[in-house]
Amino acid sequence: MRVLSDIPEEELLKERVEYEASLMQYKDGTSLKVFKFDHHGVGYVCCSVVNFEKIEKADGECLLKWLSDESNCDALELLKWFVLKQIEDFKPTHYLFNESVSLKIASCVKDLVKVFICHAVEHLPFGPYAQYPGFQCGKSEVEVKRFKNVEVILAVSGAVQRYIKQHGQLESIHVPLPREVYGQEFPSHFRNFNNPNARITIINPGFLKGFCLFKKVAELLPEVQFFAVKSWNVCESIVEQLQELRNVTLIPPFKNMDDLMRITKILLVPSLWYEAFGIICIEAMLRGIPVIASNAGGLVEAKLGVEFTIPVEVITGERYTDPDMIRMHGLNKVPPQDPCKWVDTIQKLITDQQLYESISNKSTERALQFVNNLDPNIYCKVLSKYSKDQHLRMQDGYVSKLQPDHPDTLKSPPLVAPIACGAPPRK
């Protein structure tokens, strides 16, 4: 297997990765610095991120026009050339990706199986969340046509699978995230009901992730202490509002999940966005932390049937156009939310130790069962059913044979020489 990506050389040096550096010469004379290294038996070929910084800094219009074949983009053409050269050299059987830039590149190649792994509905060229800034995806007819020509579409949850069917009229295969996502070792079970250092925690409380709901809850529970973990969806406007709440402490992200869960009594996940899944729910439940989550997208699945999933008015995709409104409220219009059930549930859990410990134990039991039942070879088993010789397509009805629990899937040979390219999923 070979993974393609772009990466700063500083990151490789920081992580003390042993790598081989070389220069590739593009047709216009541009030099592309390339790093090759192995990690856990997987070969990586990474190009220097310096060559593509202008893509990230673009206003979006250049990217969208390139995706829709309306105009050229030198930086993206360079990336396309790099990927196609690696495909020519490696001769893979499968090409895995998860966004529209790689989708366009994939459309140039015929002799391999193209596999789109959908980690977030924002990466899809159709539906209410298409063309969301930062996800390198448009919604032109050209992109939709490319997507429909993909041989295999994998969805990380039933929620994503339903979204693809509803808005794209396409079949997909639900393949859960791999076991390795949740760590190699089973974590500690924290019993934090009487822990004086533990607080109710929310992670990344931006506009999409339920800031307006969380703020109301914190205001209605002034005697309850909260941690708010700052991350990518928390803008300066939100930081200022959080700092005005005396019972909310803003803290930086944690590299070690145990360190965060050790000081977490209850985890709040009040997302208003169509979440693909909800890895953080599983991570907290594995450690015995009760989770109160919304019913947005795949969060219902991630709760594994454990109590306290609360309905919310999910963001529809309707957007503001006034710059001042965007600065104060974010790009998307947020429907009014009722905090009462959230407040009631929090009060029950922090005052009833028997209830708290019952939910804590059930959470760990269900999460361990879920993780233990994940097949570490499911991706290989599913993808090996598709080869460039068999010309099998989900649209031809073969998808019915490819569900993870089907006996034909269990007999599948190992997947040979896949190649991956694309951005990692966000939690």
Read off the pLDDT of residues 108-151 as tens digits, 9 standing for 90 and up. 988 889 999 999 999 999 999 999 887 889 999 999 999 999 99
Per-residue confidence at 324, pLDDT binned at 50, 70, 90?
confident
Q: What is the distance of C-alpha 262 from the center of its chain?
A: 24
pLDDT band, residue 54 (cuts 50/70/90): low
Provide the pLDDT for residue 50.
64
pLDDT confidence of 185, banded at 50, 70, 90? Answer: confident
Confidence of residue 400 (pLDDT cuts 50, 70, 90): very low
Measured distance CA(15)–CA(347) in Å, rounded: 44
Residue 291 has φ and ψ, to the nearest 5°, of -120, 125
What is the arithmetic mean of pLDDT over 64-70?
93
| Cβ-contact 166, 155 below 8 angstroms | no
Q: Are strands 42-48 and 2-7 parallel, antiparallel or unpaired?
A: parallel
Q: Please report the pLDDT score of residue 416 as a whole number.
A: 27
pLDDT at 398 over 70: no
CB 383 within 8 A of CB 415: yes
pLDDT at position 51: 60
Please give the Cα distance from 67 to 55 (Å, whole number). 13
Q: What is the pLDDT at residue 206?
A: 94
CA 316 → CA 61, 141, 161, distances in Å? 23, 22, 18
161-168: which pairs have CB atoms within 8 A and are 24 or more residues apart? 163/121, 163/124, 163/127, 163/274, 163/297, 164/118, 164/124, 166/127, 167/124, 167/126, 167/127, 167/128, 168/124, 168/126, 168/127, 168/144
Check whether 396 has a pLDDT greater than 70.
Answer: no
Instruction: Name the β-bridge partners of 115.
Output: 96, 152
| pLDDT of 381 higher than 90 | no
62 close to 71: Cβ distance less than 8 angstroms: yes
The confidence band for 383, taking pLDDT boundaries of 50, 70 and 90, is confident
Distance CA 86, CA 47 (A): 11
Query: 90 or 222: which carries more pLDDT confidence?
Result: 222
**Mean pLDDT, rounded, for 50-64:** 66
CA distances from 364 to 184, 200, 283, 324 (A): 16, 18, 10, 44
Please, what are the domains in the chain?
A: 1-87 (no CATH), 91-178+375-427 (no CATH), 184-372 (3.40.50.2000)
d(CA 208, CA 217): 16
pTM above 0.85, yes or no: yes
- For 278-317, letters b (16+ CB in 10 Å) and e give bbbbbbbbbbbbbbbbbebbbbbbbbbebbbbbebebbeb
Q: How far apart are CA 320 and CA 306, in angstroms?
A: 36
Query: Which pLDDT does position 133 carry in this prediction?
Result: 83
